Chain A
Amino acid sequence: MTAITLDNVYVDFPLLAQNRSLKRLLSLSLQGSRLGSANGKSVVHALKAVNLELKSGDRIAVVGPNGAGKSTLLRVLAGIYPPVIGEIAIEGQVGALLTTGLGMRDDISGYENIDFCLMLQGVPAKKIPAKREDVAQFTELGEFLDINVGAYSSGMRVKLAFAISTALDPDILIVDEIFGTGDASFVKKAEKRMLDLIDRADILVFASHASSLVEQFCEKAIWLQDGNIVEFGAIKSVNAAYLRHVAAESN
């Protein structure tokens, strides 16, 4: 049974290297609303009192303006940020696509990079040969995979990084932004591969600004604002409410 439960979760970021003037600057721009103190230390409240229950089959979009806490929420759901207050229970294997090319190294070959990155994402050793084959085929890089990634063009790198991170089959898939891809023919292939990956996952959590895109494969949405969940429900109504809010703000 795949599930994630957040119970009254708070996440604070300590302001460790803050001198006084910078602190004042920040509190001016944020009107002090999200700066606070815990045990006398300055912190930013990134998530406040978040309650959430994600079940098998959920396809969830996370919307909200920059700095609303979207990335923080994704990292909490991925088990990367342990809550400061509150509880989180994650059942199932998490795959988090937060950046592309994590763990790619210039000084080893394409194949070595594939093996290493797959290992890094927790792919068991006996599954690696098959995955390596899959990645190699998708990238169409052929013999380039035998040479060091340092010699690759940026397009080749993107292809390889994308192919590796989409080779996983996690129970819970967490995606931040849409992935950058290569040339036109590659974009089509990449989209299909991404959709396949989404299909394989039990739970999808997807953060994006482009609302038309998320409506394609999400049924529910979370609207985050200043670290709070404003609304959680069917994607159409949440998106509409969020867009109304954005329009009202800009007027």
Chain B
Amino acid sequence: MSVMAISPLLSKTARDMAEGVSAWRLWSTFGWHDLQARFRRSWIGPLWLMLSAAVFMAALSIVYATLFKIALGAYLPFVAVGVSVWGFLAAVTSESTLVFVESESFIRQTRINLFVYVFRVLWRNIIVFCHQFVVTLVVLILANNFFVTMIPLAFFGLALLFAQALWMLPLFGLIGARFRDAQVIIQNLLQVAFFITPVFWPAASLGSRRWLADLNPLNSLIDVVREPLLGRVPTLQCYSIVLAVTFLGLLTSSFFYGRFSKRLVYWL
């Protein structure tokens, strides 16, 4: 397909996205209510998020620090960042196929910009992430592993992390609405990805097969957040991979959205 045919599709996506951003009151309330519903009648509410993150980090650290024979103090910060970043990625990916399906009744009854539903899911996941990230920060500070000078780079890393959700949610959302078994496929892939990505084990432990981790874009994505928080500057290769994935992801997603968003309501 020529560039001439693609550019109107991309500009439609850009228009919808901008319009969606301006409806921030709606989607932020939407996402907030989602979380309220999730934690209704629970006694400590969103504190559960922190608690479950803390338990997960502690359990992983104790077992794997022993297995890998690394000092717990050095290993814990590594796991703490990895787990919270992975938590965000995993939640966004597994919810992505349901972005439009879960909002079916709204899409079929009112004319609202579809990005409102995308931002709804993004927003509630950012809120969840922030809760769990508090635990990570506490771990970093307690482990005396907090580098003020690296904060800007860490923020840049987080922005890149959130940017992935921006293309994954609409793209997988459309696919998930059209092909309902996409959900199962994504869940399966996610599980495999968790074990082959250096979330809780250091890439260096791969030894001569380190390239397995280096070529894994998920590893680069974690590293753009994790490295600065552990006091190191991520490699150029790491940034290049993440930026390339972001660019290609946004391009593909914009194309699909521009092409198929009009059909979405008929798929629900």
Tell whether B262 is near chain A: CB-to-CB under 8 Å. Answer: yes
A80 to B109, CA, bound (A): 7
A232 within 8 A of B: no
Return B8 CB to nearest CB of chain A, in Å.
Answer: 15
Shortest beta-carbon distance from B267 to chain A in Å: 7
Chain A: interface size category: 20 to 34
Write the nearest CB–CB distance from A9 to chain B, whole angstroms: 13
Q: Which residues from chain A contact B107 at a C-beta distance below 8 Å?
A: 80
A186 CB-CB contact with B under 8 Å: no
Within 8 A of A (CB), among B152-210: 178
**B residues near A75, Cβ cutoff 8 Å:** 108
Chain B: interface residue total (CB-CB under 8 A): 21
Q: How far is the CA of A119 from the CA of B40 in the complex (A)?
A: 23
How far is it, in angstroms, between the C-alpha of A143 and the C-alpha of B137 when the chains are bound?
42
List B11-48 residues whose CB lies under 8 Å from chain A. 25-26, 29-30, 33, 36-37, 40
Q: How far is the CB of B20 from chain A (nearest CB, A)?
A: 13
B142 CB-CB contact with A under 8 Å: no
Shortest beta-carbon distance from A187 to chain B in Å: 24
A99 to B109 Cα, complex, angstroms: 7
CB-CB under 8 A from B106, the residues of chain A are 102-103, 120
Interchain nearest-CB distance for B78 vs A (Å): 38
Known: A105-B37, A107-B40. A78 touches B112 (CB 8 A): no
Which residues of the other chain, A, contact B30 by a CB distance below 8 angstroms? 116
Q: Which residue of the partner chain A has the closest CB to B179?
A: A16
CA distance A111 to B30 in the complex (A): 15
Q: Closest CB-CB distance, A122 to chain B, in whole Å?
A: 8
Give the tally of cross-chain contacts (CB within 8 A). Answer: 55
| Interface membership of B6, Cβ < 8 A | no
How far is it, in angstroms, between the C-alpha of A121 and the C-alpha of B110 when the chains are bound?
8
Which residues of chain A are near B26, meaning CB under 8 Å?
119-120
Residue among B40, B111, B265 making CB contact with A96, cutoff 8 Å: B111
For the complex, is A86 an interface residue (Cβ under 8 Å from B)? no
Residue among B33, B40, B265 making CB contact with A80, cutoff 8 Å: B265
Within 8 A of B (CB), among A113-168: 115-116, 119-122, 125
Whether A96 touches B25, Cβ cut-off 8 Å, given contacts A13-B266, A16-B267, A108-B36, is no
Task: Verify A96–B37 contact, CB threshold 8 A.
Answer: no
B2 at the interface (CB under 8 A from A): no
Chain B residues lying within 8 Å of A82, measured Cβ to Cβ, are 262, 265
Q: Let me know if B149 is at the binding interface, CB within 8 A.
A: no
A47 at the interface (CB under 8 A from B): no
Residue of B nearest to A125 (CB): B25
Q: Which residues of B contact A119 (CB under 8 A)?
A: 25-26, 29
> What residue of chain B has the Cβ atom nearest to residue A13's Cβ?
B266
**Do residues A98 and B25 form an inter-chain contact, with CB atoms below 8 A?**
no
Docked complex Cα distance between A103 and B266 (Å): 20
Answer whether residue A214 sits at the interface, using C-beta atoms and an 8 A cutoff: no
Bound-state Cα–Cα, A115 to B32, Å: 13
CB-based contact B33/A116 at 8 Å: yes
Chain B residues with CB below 8 A from A96, complex form: 109-111
CB distance from A93 to the nearest CB of B (A): 10
- B36 neighbours in A (Cβ, 8 Å): 107-108
A192 CB to closest chain B CB (Å) equals 25
A105-B33, A120-B26 known; A81+B266 contact, CB < 8 A: yes
Q: How far is A98 from B109 in the complex, measured between Cα atoms in Å? A: 6
Q: CB distance B266 to A14 under 8 Å?
A: yes
Alpha-carbon distance A105/B25, docked complex (angstroms): 17
- In the assembled complex, 11 residue pairs joining A and B whose CB atoms fall closer than 8 Å, in A order, are A14-B266, A94-B111, A98-B109, A99-B105, A102-B106, A105-B37, A107-B33, A116-B29, A119-B26, A120-B112, A125-B25
The 8 closest A-B pairs by CB, nearest first: A79-B111, A107-B40, A82-B262, A107-B37, A119-B26, A98-B109, A102-B109, A80-B111
* Beyond A12-B266, A112-B33, A120-B26, 20 extra complex contacts between A and B, CB < 8 Å: A13-B266, A14-B266, A16-B267, A80-B107, A80-B111, A81-B266, A82-B262, A82-B265, A94-B111, A96-B111, A102-B106, A102-B109, A105-B33, A108-B36, A116-B29, A116-B30, A119-B26, A120-B110, A121-B110, A122-B112
Q: Which residues of A contact B (CB under 8 A)?
A: 12-14, 16, 75, 78-82, 94, 96, 98-99, 102-103, 105, 107-108, 112, 115-116, 119-122, 125
